[in-house]
Amino acid sequence: MNKVSVIILITYLSTNGEQMAVQSANFITKYFIPSQQGMPERRYDLDWLRILVFGLLIFYHIGMLYVADWGFHFKSAYQSELLQNFMLVVSPWRMAVLWIISGIAIRFILVKVSLLRYAFVRSLRLLLPLLFGVLVIVPPQLYVEMTANGALDMSYWQFYLAMFTDSGSLFEKYQAGIWPHWDVNHLWYLRSLWQYSLALIFLLPLLNARLVTCACQWLFKQHIAFLIILLSLPIFVIQITWPQDSVRYPLGFAFLLYGYLIGWHESFWQKLKVNTKTLLTVFIVSVTLFITFYNIVWLTLNDSTPPWLMIIGMVIYSTVRVVGVLMVLACAYKYLNKNSPLLNYFSDAVYPFYILHQTIIIVLAYNLAPMSLGPIIEPFLVIVLTIILCFACFEVIRRFDLLKPLFGVKIKKNYGNNLKKITYGVGSLLIIPIGLELIF
């Protein structure tokens, strides 16, 4: 090839390469990046709601120690059937609210960073705490569970070593999880959030399509009753078609998609604000019907129960889920959209509290059980000590940057580029095995 040909080829490639780069950037902007129209700088109500719902999760899991007939890793001797009714008030919507907030948060993130950085940072922030949690935080729960069931007669350290080495029958009944013997337990939210965050990338051209945006804008202008019915329909279909032991996963993804589509549509949030009292009234009525159905039908369920009765129950359950979410979002938007010096502190504390709380709860309850403290003193101590220990652990975590990534806390100190590259590299290597396991 002569010099003239080389010059022509280079000129052609550089010109067309530049055009291709522009076209690629335009394609990504059009189909993979959500519109910034109407985007607020920050939604304090969502930050507060995230904190409150994760806080509610701690009390819910403490309740699991004492609620009768509901399975948990460890159960107290002091159990109550009445407690079921109180927990049913929050059970349908507590996780759905977190998924909605997660979907909205992803929309905010995708406006600010590239898809590659989104996938990379999301993986580090979710998989490092998940890996650390599975290897360090979760095992005491299994130890307590197996010991309480009479399946173990060894020290914790003997048990922990066996988790790496045992290939016999010790864990025969405890195989579910990421790897043999290793389960995610309450950290399933982190696992699913990572999986959903990546899956969402492939749906972005559809979710960001003009037709979908216009459909959402139209929907949010309709009567609140129509909005409830339309949002409840996919939830109802999922609940009657999916196995009950794993239905939480498609439900979580559905609500995450709802959150992404809701985003910062002003018409949606104004609709909620105007109908706050209506939503609260509908929620009270629907949750009362749900609890009544649970006690009269669900607890006496047998082969002779008419299918149509179960369908009615699922319609009520789906309505409670959606109305509960909308009611909570409406109250937060109306009353909590305010900044506070405590907001950043508690926002940083959310993941450490979430990662630690269930292990603390179970270990505390297991060690308090032999004292026979009674149905008032024991749960009181579990609540108080859980909160104290969570705060104490968080105070340690927030002071050491080495611990922060293991608990999902952002490092705010600006380190040098070389150190950042090294830590990103090490973190990437650590999460590869668990990432591949979750994908394949």
- pLDDT of amino acid 24: 53
The separation between CA 328 and the C-alpha centre of its own chain, rounded to angstroms, equals 16
Least confident of 32-41, 62-71, 148-157, 213-222: 32-41
Confidence of residue 19 (pLDDT cuts 50, 70, 90): low
- pLDDT of amino acid 133: 97
Angle at 221 between CA 219 and CA 225, to 5 degrees: 75
Name residue 123's amino acid: S
Backbone angles phi, psi at 242, to 5 degrees: -105, 145
What pTM was computed for the model?
Answer: 0.93
For residues 81 and 68, the answer to whether their CB atoms sit within 8 Å is yes
- pLDDT of amino acid 26: 56
Residue closest to 88 by CA, chosen among 102, 107, 67: 67
Question: What is the signed CA dihedral for 145, 397, 439, 233, rounded to 10 degrees?
Answer: 80
d(CA 230, CA 272): 15
> Which residues have C-beta within 8 Å of that of residue 200, sequence separation ≥ 6?
106, 207, 256, 257, 260
The separation between CA 5 and the C-alpha centre of its own chain, rounded to angstroms, equals 58
Residue closest to 385 by CA, chosen among 62, 56, 34, 22: 62
Average pLDDT of the residues of the chain: 92
d(CA 243, CA 251): 12
d(CA 209, CA 206): 5
Q: Which residue has the higher pLDDT, 148 or 10?
A: 148
Confidence of residue 3 (pLDDT cuts 50, 70, 90): low
Whole-number percent of the chain with pLDDT over 90: 82
pLDDT 10s digits, 311-369: 999 999 999 999 999 999 999 999 999 999 899 999 999 999 999 999 999 999 999 99
Angle at 367 between CA 365 and CA 373, to 5 degrees: 70
Residues 137-155 have a mean pLDDT of: 94
Domain boundaries, the chain: 43-439
Whether the pLDDT of residue 5 is over 60: the answer is no
pLDDT 10s digits, 152-185: 999 999 999 999 887 778 888 886 678 888 999 9
For residue 182, the tally of other CB atoms under 10 A from its CB is 21
- Region class of 237: left (phi > 0), else alpha (psi between -120 and 50), else beta: alpha
For residues 318 and 235, the answer to whether their CB atoms sit within 8 Å is yes
Whether the pLDDT of residue 10 is over 80: the answer is no
Q: Is the four-CA dihedral 148, 154, 155, 160 of positive or negative sign? A: negative
Least confident of 87-91, 172-176, 187-191, 248-252: 172-176
Q: Tell me whether residue 423 is exposed, middle or buried, using C-beta atoms within 10 angstroms of its C-beta: 0 to 12, 13 to 18, 19 or more.
A: middle
d(CA 252, CA 421): 34
pLDDT 10s digits, 406-436: 999 999 899 999 999 999 999 999 999 999 9
CA distance to 62, 65, 130, 160, 278, per residue, from 356 (Å)? 13, 16, 12, 18, 37
Q: What are the structure tokens assigned to 112, written together? A: 């600010």
For residues 324 and 96, the answer to whether their CB atoms sit within 8 Å is yes
Residue closest to 187 by CA, chosen among 64, 332, 357: 357
d(CA 426, CA 429): 5
> Which residues have C-beta within 8 Å of that of residue 246, sequence separation ≥ 6?
none
Confidence of residue 65 (pLDDT cuts 50, 70, 90): very high
The separation between CA 339 and the C-alpha centre of its own chain, rounded to angstroms, equals 23
